[in-house]
Structure 1
């Protein structure tokens, strides 16, 4: 307490880094190009980046939103994300919309994360400024901050961004994924039936190849159509997918689909529909008939493939590009058709026969779907629970691999396959157990799950400081007034669920026992601005808070020492150094 009082009484020489206002960090220009096409151009200041999945456009009649691929960024809290530096251009099919509601969010490389920005764009072609449709359109900001000047984007930078991530690796990936999906139990047993429809009796290998290609092409085209629909819907899903209830609902759906992959129940068309489709043979082996049956087969196997197909469609919907969605699912459909082409051309002896191994392939997809469910849920649940779920999944995977190794021994399979299964079970089991025990001990970092268990006794003696989390600015001001009336110093941390650096600070800075001891006797308040509503944005503007993480220190008299404010990501040593500077300065 004495250390903090001395520190608050003396202004340190250090000053917080200056950050740009969000309108200056991310300058937006809007250009209408006719035929309902609108180009949104952001010029991004050096040292800042924009999140790809946080860009959203909504409005009556708004269609596809074309967002280029961004730079891949490995985030320790949010996993793999895509970001834009310098500039980005987004195409919008506005249709007949007169107003576009555009949302975006970005961060600074130094750790500051801005709240989501939301602007209403009145289009000149339908609004009152129709005389100048090519000029940048002013936006009515709902952030409460002043409207910055809007400038045009850089075409060269945009072209470079577009070329950084291409379909060169995603198309082969989806093709291989399609081949893997073709060997699931609901698809492979149908291959002989579909082959008899396509090839017919007495067909030569060349004729079988032509017929099978005629079958696979329309089947893949149906999947491409699904990709287009998913991509078009992606424009409206961008903001919706950020809602915690939406994320948890999708995670629950993936759990249900995963249980189906484990054989608890089946998801497929009713038996009378399957039998009716399977009973229709292609007379004479015509290419037209093969093409028709190929399109029907996509309907036949589609519901049975709901689990993996749902994940693929969700990925495309988040990308938002109709052309990319079509190409990716076209590649998926072509991959699914590979076994049929092989069977129809060279005969059934080249394909593996249906058997127990197919259930293992299906179970593998089940574990993948459970992983996707945890990945979606971990963005809205506590880190300890996320760690626990990952640990349980790995333990279950270890048990499955161990059972696989036992069955391999019983079947007298090659020792190498048994060794691989047992090694995988050991690694997954040990890692999963570490995650479970780490979560029970309060850990949240998957790379160091046992850190809390092996910490030094002196370090574990001090508990992490307890914050009072508030979302209402009025309640926060009331708590600060109470502290001033008691003569108690206070600390206010602005935080949000979407703030990457906030999670790091919570774990590395406030989890440090030295910081906990130095802040003993201080009222600790956490201003949660996750919602970023009107009241919160006005409160932040009044205090000149650009965004989280921002740490404010208040003297016992209730006045903030503005020059001691911490903005952006910082470590425990930085905070302790400021405390020590204030103490020695007295």
Structure 2
């Protein structure tokens, strides 16, 4: 029967009909969102998006990744925030957007994007691999540099990739900002007992040379740089090892053990037990360390290298966590620079101590355990971050809420210490109370089906990330189908009964589909009118091969799209609805189809 349907569609534009029947078509996806790639003189790339008027691209659904190697950095421009009652706030781009890309070792890009028309049409996710000339290439043609520029077409519109690689996320934040973060973490490590063993080692270097202040500065600088380079090499090694495991690390069987490792590392920072190198390894390194002569630059460098491995016990946990974190990115340059910054952050106060004097560093005390606890919470947060990839959004919100709640309780416990001064105690009490309250709100929101970290109670207010739930009796009931053969058989069976068929194209990421579900298929008059029709729904959320074939065969460019098919198997093409429509307009279209 669908052969007749498609024969009637021949010669009719594939872009859908206006909601008001004025024949103004929606643009095809490659006309609504046109991109171009330019290679700049400094080696960076500019990805330019030309977005048609009254169309927009989603910022959070845009992925830019290296096709054959990790990218150094991707800078996104700020977008405009729009709000709807189903999905909450979303950042989007109108008219024009430009992304600046530092490609690193990559020779091609994987681009994924998705956009909508303001009139109510959502396009399926689109994916493509392009070389630096902006030409589409196939992933199989990227096996070597000799293939750069190959112009074998790659199928656009494949299912959106789900892996949110750490390298992409860090690149979005910017390399400089990430280095500042790791440098700050290194500074925090100085104020923990794990760095204390370095002080007598560095003192031996200085004393052995009987150095004056200038010489002491040079020796301590060599010591610290050698230590930082050791960490950088560990970071590069971790990233190179992780580059081959990056895809594997997205599977639950690997993510769960990683999260458990981070929890165990965090517990060691809270003092439940100590993690350090095996005794036989530490003993051998210590013997090598004692044989080094203080005073020489070479001796300072060797001692810095060995100290990077000897510092324990608590350095082991943050370093292990950082190495796993970087391994997940597969970005060797990021791993090297990040841990170099970490080592320099640790060493900066040591240089000042060796050059000027011990009065610069605070005296050891119980407060150092509080700094260790900070790293404990960072490691727990990293565990939750890993689990986000496989857990339900509401459960993820609950885990973040529990972590925030524990953090607030810890701050309150610090405030109750008898060593705290009255003003500080009041400040910590107040801050702890606010953090506890927010953590509790997150857990309450998660229990109610909420998903947003900064708006955890939106689901209770009937808006935000969580769609409104309705009883099955409140709106029209559809039967699902998947392929063109399924549809053909269902239409033929309905035709044998003299029954009309309504076909609805739907997707979870389609805002307008939610609007139509509630305002059209939830309207009592519409429900009554459709009661004698066969109602079929094609859920194209996944946008897999069958979904693409179905939409291509029926010339559907995206959801929401509604087809009206008569008992003879013919679609009433003039009454097809693409985009949002009101209940009254839909009833008029249905009536027009039946009258004709």
TM-score, normalisation: structure 1:
0.70
CA distance in 2: counterparts of 1:492 and 1:333, whole angstroms: 55
How far off is 1:306 after superposition? Answer: 5.2
How far off is 1:578 after superposition? Answer: 2.2
Q: Is the 8 A contact 2:441 2:456 kept in 1?
A: yes
Q: Does 1:296 align with 2:301?
A: no
How far off is 1:108 after superposition? Answer: 2.9
Residue in 2 aligned with 1:194? 201
Q: Does 1:277 align with 2:285?
A: yes
Q: Cα–Cα, structure 1 residues 418 and 551, in superposed 2: closer, same or farther, change >3 Å?
A: same
Q: Does 1:582 align with 2:595?
A: no
Q: Is the 8 A contact 2:58 2:91 kept in 1?
A: no
Residue in 1 aligned with 2:164? none
Q: Cα–Cα, structure 1 residues 473 and 363, in superposed 2: closer, same or farther, change >3 Å?
A: farther
Q: Is the 8 A contact 2:520 2:582 kept in 1?
A: no
1:431-459 CA distance string (max 9 Å, x none)? 12222222222233344433444559xx9
1:95-122 CA distance string (max 9 Å, x none)? xxxxx99643122375645244465257
Q: Does 1:552 align with 2:561?
A: yes
Q: 2:442 aligns with which of 427, 435, 438?
A: 435
Residue in 1 aligned with 2:3? none
Q: Does 1:20 align with 2:29?
A: yes
Residue in 1 aligned with 2:388? 378
Count of aligned pairs between the two proteins = 516
Q: What does 1:30-69 align with in structure 2 at a 5 Å threshold?
A: 44-46=49-51, 54-58=64-68, 64-69=69-74
Q: What does 1:555-570 align with in structure 2 at a 5 Å threshold?
A: 555=564, 557=566, 564-566=576-578
Q: Secondary structure at the match of 1:69?
A: strand
Q: Is the 8 A contact 2:57 2:114 kept in 1?
A: yes
Q: Which runs of 5+ in 1 are unaligned?
A: 1-9, 31-37, 59-63, 95-99, 146-162, 496-500, 568-574
Q: Is the 8 A contact 1:55 1:103 kept in 2?
A: yes
Q: Secondary structure at the match of 1:553?
A: strand
Q: Does 1:139 align with 2:152?
A: yes
Q: What does 1:124-523 align with in structure 2 at a 5 Å threshold?
A: 136-143=149-156, 167-185=175-193, 187-200=194-207, 203-230=211-238, 232=240, 250-279=258-287, 280-281=289-290, 282-301=292-311, 305=315, 307-309=317-319, 312-313=322-323, 322-406=332-416, 408=417, 410-411=418-419, 413-454=420-461, 462-463=470-471, 473=483, 477=487, 489-495=502-508, 501-502=509-510, 509=515, 516=522
1:351-401 CA distance string (max 9 Å, x none)? 223332222212222222322333343344322212222222222222222
CA distance in 2: counterparts of 1:454 and 1:229, whole angstroms: 49
Q: 2:552 aligns with which of 541, 545, 566?
A: 541
Q: Is the 8 A contact 2:268 2:314 kept in 1?
A: no
Q: Cα–Cα, structure 1 residues 356 and 283, in superposed 2: closer, same or farther, change >3 Å?
A: same
Question: Which moved further from structure 2: 198-207 or 333-342?
Answer: 198-207
CA distance in 1: counterparts of 2:398 and 2:151, whole angstroms: 48
Residue in 1 aligned with 2:7? none
Q: Secondary structure at the match of 1:139?
A: coil
Q: Cα–Cα, structure 1 residues 237 and 559, in superposed 2: closer, same or farther, change >3 Å?
A: farther
How far off is 1:319 after superposition? Answer: 6.8
Q: Is the 8 A contact 2:408 2:433 kept in 1?
A: yes
1:170-224 CA distance string (max 9 Å, x none)? 4333322211133334x22323332333223655444332221111011111222
Q: Is the 8 A contact 1:399 1:425 kept in 2?
A: yes
Q: Cα–Cα, structure 1 residues 80 and 209, in superposed 2: closer, same or farther, change >3 Å?
A: farther
Q: Cα–Cα, structure 1 residues 511 and 387, in superposed 2: closer, same or farther, change >3 Å?
A: farther
Question: Which moved further from structure 2: 391-400 or 118-127?
Answer: 118-127
CA distance in 2: counterparts of 1:79 and 1:315, whole angstroms: 29
CA distance in 1: counterparts of 2:443 and 2:429, whole angstroms: 21
Q: What does 1:53-92 align with in structure 2 at a 5 Å threshold?
A: 54-58=64-68, 64-71=69-76, 85-86=97-98, 91=103
How far off is 1:429 after superposition? Answer: 1.6
Q: Is the 8 A contact 1:469 1:527 kept in 2?
A: no
Q: Cα–Cα, structure 1 residues 251 and 104, in superposed 2: closer, same or farther, change >3 Å?
A: farther
Question: Which moved further from structure 2: 269-278 or 465-474?
Answer: 465-474
CA distance in 1: counterparts of 2:272 and 2:32, whole angstroms: 52
Q: Secondary structure at the match of 2:263?
A: helix
CA distance in 1: counterparts of 2:215 and 2:90, whole angstroms: 46
Q: Is the 8 A contact 1:16 1:566 kept in 2?
A: no
CA distance in 1: counterparts of 2:427 and 2:111, whole angstroms: 46
CA distance in 2: counterparts of 1:56 and 1:78, whole angstroms: 30
1:390-426 CA distance string (max 9 Å, x none)? 22222222222222222x2x22x21222122212221
CA distance in 2: counterparts of 1:218 and 1:166, whole angstroms: 26
Alignment RMSD (CA, Å): 5.0
TM-score, normalisation: structure 2:
0.69
How far off is 1:335 after superposition? Answer: 0.7
Q: What does 1:2-13 align with in structure 2 at a 5 Å threshold?
A: 12-13=20-21
Q: Cα–Cα, structure 1 residues 461 and 332, in superposed 2: closer, same or farther, change >3 Å?
A: closer
Q: Cα–Cα, structure 1 residues 328 and 436, in superposed 2: closer, same or farther, change >3 Å?
A: closer
Q: Is the 8 A contact 1:227 1:325 kept in 2?
A: yes
Residue in 1 aligned with 2:11? none
